């Protein structure tokens, strides 16, 4: 049958891992070309055949010999134009590009359908953890209604270290950058964009309805303080950046990324450092959990090469490869706005130390139908107090109104933090 021919776009950390891992499969797969940004850069690959390198990625998508285009360059442009062209040219696609799928998945999957090619993207969500293929194949027997996870290693590392070392966000971020765990510009990770791209893709395939990135609420970890982590611990919680998607009985989806206080006994509270985890709830399976390395050269290469081999097993053998792995939904999900959601909240307030201050907080919450479940105040002095409360379940819109009243109250000087709480 001959070897399946692939072209790889991008030879950074993931690309190098893919090339090295594919050496174990060189009887099945031939790398015909690799597009790189800089032809003169030294690569961390022994005996790399430099004659197959090109700095023009369009040579790959237009190469008639290539069966599969592997995109591991990241970013939207020019990856979008390249993959569109590759699909038009009848190539199957393997990509690790979460941002591209979240922003332009619909268009790419539509053209893939028209051209009868397959787009596989196991590495785009949670790196080395197999999650896309399980949802699309063995879990097809389920109605999945909940996906919750820790989908970003950088922020999980930062929150873990802040907790272990009682250190500030700024200090730990700097250390993480020095160790290479955080990018020089960490925005994509610390502001929750990376996790949002991943939960959009996961929710779309889990619910079988398209979720739009613009309907996904996102908040990062930059406002979390060492004191929040300390108080959360005292109240029995860890703080984690949680990506969450839930489908209610009317088929409306609630998809978001934000920090949460997670009860210490919850499995997600125990996922530390750069590890990722995904919990799914489905009927009939119940609750299942996947955990492992969400990034890194070889974990990500494991998923990319797994996708390449899945395609190799069918391409040229059948006219309609991998039917279960294709995009088979057309509907866009109705989604809740964050103001319509129901949550519990942790609130840290700086107040004046005066008789009735806690009563005023309780009265404001009561006015907006917000019940209080925990209150913590320690060592008021010099006329100031720090009050932490955890609420019962309440509507986000009501909480916003209560915060406005708190801002206007003359005993509350500052709302220091507002973090949602997992049940």
Residues in the site for ligand HSE, rule: CB under 6 A? 98, 152-154, 189, 194, 294-295
Nearer to ligand HSE, 275 or 391 (CB): 275
* Beta bridge partner(s), residue 279: 148, 289
Nearer to ligand HSE, 61 or 158 (CB): 158
In the complex, the smallest distance separating the C-beta of residue 299 from ligand HSE, rounded to whole angstroms, is 10
Please identify which residue in the block is written with the tokens 């996961």.
Answer: 202
In the complex, the smallest distance separating the C-beta of residue 155 from ligand HSE, rounded to whole angstroms, is 7
Nearer to ligand HSE, 98 or 344 (CB): 98
Q: What token pair was written down for 239? A: 């703080």
In the complex, the smallest distance separating the C-beta of residue 295 from ligand HSE, rounded to whole angstroms, is 4
Nearer to ligand HSE, 157 or 345 (CB): 157
Nearer to ligand HSE, 152 or 204 (CB): 152
In the complex, the smallest distance separating the C-beta of residue 337 from ligand HSE, rounded to whole angstroms, is 26
**Rounded (10°) angle between helices 153-165 and 169-178:** 120
Could you give the CA distance from residue 97 to residue 237 in angstroms, rounded to a whole number?
33
- DSSP helix/strand/coil, 207: helix
* Beta bridge partner(s), residue 291: 277
Nearer to ligand HSE, 5 or 98 (CB): 98
Could you give the CA distance from residue 125 to residue 97 in angstroms, rounded to a whole number?
9
Nearer to ligand HSE, 98 or 148 (CB): 98
In the complex, the smallest distance separating the C-beta of residue 98 from ligand HSE, rounded to whole angstroms, is 6
In the complex, the smallest distance separating the C-beta of residue 75 from ligand HSE, rounded to whole angstroms, is 12
Nearer to ligand HSE, 132 or 406 (CB): 132
In the complex, the smallest distance separating the C-beta of residue 91 from ligand HSE, rounded to whole angstroms, is 24
Contact 91, 66 (CB under 8 A): yes
Please identify which residue in the block is written with the tokens 């978001």.
Answer: 256
* Beta bridge partner(s), residue 334: 252
In the complex, the smallest distance separating the C-beta of residue 40 from ligand HSE, rounded to whole angstroms, is 26
Radius of gyration from C-alpha coordinates of the chain: 24
Query: Among this protein's residues, is 198 annotated catalytic?
Result: yes
Q: Report the 10 Å Cβ neighbour count for 217.
A: 19
Contact 101, 90 (CB under 8 A): no
Listed residue (124, 416, 145) closest to 276, CA to CA: 124
Contact 295, 124 (CB under 8 A): no
Could you give the CA distance from residue 134 to residue 86 in angstroms, rounded to a whole number?
26
Listed residue (41, 39, 78, 84) closest to 61, CA to CA: 84
**Nearby residues of 265 by Cβ (< 8 Å), 6 or more positions away:** none
The CA-to-CA distance between both ends of the chain, in Å, stands at 55
**Nearby residues of 189 by Cβ (< 8 Å), 6 or more positions away:** 152, 154, 155, 182, 183
Q: How many CA atoms, within 13 angstroms, populate the side-chain half-sphere of residue 386? A: 8
Catalytic residue among 91, 136, 198, 209: 198
Active site residues: 198
């Amino acid at each position: 049958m001959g070897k399946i021919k692939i072209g790889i776009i991008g030879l950074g950390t993931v690309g190098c891992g893919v090339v090295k891992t594919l050496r174990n499969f060189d009887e099945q797969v031939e790398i015909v070309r690799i597009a790189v940004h800089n032809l003169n850069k030294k690569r961390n690959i022994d005996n790399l055949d430099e004659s197959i390198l090109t700095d023009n990625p369009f040579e790959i998508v237009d190469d008639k010999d290539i069966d599969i285009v592997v995109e591991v360059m990241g970013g939207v442009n020019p990856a979008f134009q390249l993959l569109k062209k590759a699909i038009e040219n009848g190539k199957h696609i393997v990509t690790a590009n979460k941002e591209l799928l979240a922003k332009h998945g619909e268009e790419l999957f539509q053209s893939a359908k028209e051209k009868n090619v397959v787009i596989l993207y196991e590495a785009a969500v949670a790196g080395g953890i197999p999650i896309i293929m399980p949802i699309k194949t063995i879990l097809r027997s389920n109605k999945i209604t909940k996906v919750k996870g820790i989908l970003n290693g950088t922020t999980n590392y930062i929150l873990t270290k802040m907790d272990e070392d009682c250190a500030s966000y700024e200090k730990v971020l700097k250390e993480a950058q020095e160790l290479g765990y955080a990018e020089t510009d960490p925005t994509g990770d610390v502001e929750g964009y990376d996790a949002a791209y991943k939960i959009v893709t996961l929710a779309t395939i889990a619910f079988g309805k398209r979720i739009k990135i613009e309907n996904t609420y996102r908040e990062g970890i930059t406002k979390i303080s060492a004191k929040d982590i300390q108080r959360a611990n005292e109240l029995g919680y860890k703080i984690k950046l949680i990506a969450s998607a839930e489908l209610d009985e009317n088929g409306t989806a609630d998809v978001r990324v934000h920090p949460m206080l997670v009860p210490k006994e919850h499995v997600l509270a125990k996922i530390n450092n750069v590890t990722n985890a995904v919990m799914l709830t489905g009927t009939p399976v119940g609750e299942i959990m996947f955990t492992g390395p969400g990034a890194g050269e070889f974990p990500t290469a494991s998923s990319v090469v797994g996708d390449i081999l899945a395609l190799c097993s069918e391409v040229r053998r059948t006219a309609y490869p991998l039917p279960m792995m294709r995009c088979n939904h057309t509907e866009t999900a109705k989604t809740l706005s964050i103001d319509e959601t129901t949550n519990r909240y942790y609130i840290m307030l700086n107040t004046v130390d005066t008789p009735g201050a806690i009563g005023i907080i309780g009265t404001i919450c009561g006015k907006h139908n917000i019940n209080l479940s925990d209150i913590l105040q320690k060592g008021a002095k010099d006329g100031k107090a720090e009050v932490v409360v955890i609420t019962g379940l309440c509507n986000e819109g009501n909480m916003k109104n209560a915060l406005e009243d708190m801002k206007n109250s003359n005993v509350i000087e500052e709302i220091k933090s507002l973090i949602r709480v997992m049940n």
